[in-house]
Amino acid sequence: MTDTRSKGKAALADEAFSKRLEAAIRDVPDFPKPGIVFKDITPVLLDPPLFDDTIAELARWTSVWEASKVIGVDARGFLFAAPVANRLGIGLVPVRKMGKLPHRTEREAYDLEYGSAELEIHVDAIEPGERVAVIDDLLATGGSSHAAARLVERLGGVVAGLGFVIELGFLDGRARLAGYDCASLVRYE
């Protein structure tokens, strides 16, 4: 099912584009564990025009949100956030799993669909008052995105918006992100 709802300033994606994107996303049953249907974005990455259109849409949202930096959430979020930052000429901030960043960090624990984890950000990555867009490939339970947003706020930044390639609406991750402007290119119910 395609649904590109946004709670706020990010306008809806073109329906034809969303359908192309949805058709390219591959379901992988029982990965990473039994009962999970993994949404594989590899076919999107292998299709340069589709990948470019995906980046263009995420960049459009980031621009509408007036963000001066983009966060890429470890690890697949990096694949989308880096080209968005590059396209817009703004900074890229990696938010990584615990123990992967070399400098002093802030840390935030969170629960996810099939476990728990912690994310970290460099303490000097965001200036007070700076507007930051959080980009990730998938919104599931909202745990990692909420953790990234809390890290931005802990450093004094403002979460301008959160953009996702895929949203698993049946997991109700948006509820955890209440109060933030969220947008997704493809939504599954």
Catalytic residue numbers read: 76, 113
**97 domain residue, yes or no:** yes
CATH code, 90: 3.40.50.2020
Let me know if residue 25 belongs to a domain: yes
**What is the pTM (predicted TM-score) of this model?**
0.92
Question: Which residues form the domain of 45?
Answer: 15-188
Instruction: Tell me, yes or no, whether 21 lies in a domain.
Output: yes
pLDDT of 12 over the 80 cut: no
Cα separation of 133 and 137, whole Å? 13
Rounded-to-integer distance, Cα 131 and Cα 155, Å: 11
For 10, the enclosing helix (H) or strand (E) is: none
pLDDT at 32: 86
Amino acid code (one letter) for 22: E
In a domain, 5, yes or no: no
In a domain, 9, yes or no: no
Q: Which of 6-20, 64-78, 115-129 has the lowest mean pLDDT?
A: 6-20
pLDDT interval class at 2 (50, 70, 90): very low
Distance CA 164, CA 58 (A): 8
Tens of pLDDT, residues 30-45: 998 899 899 999 999 9
Confidence (pLDDT) at 14: 79
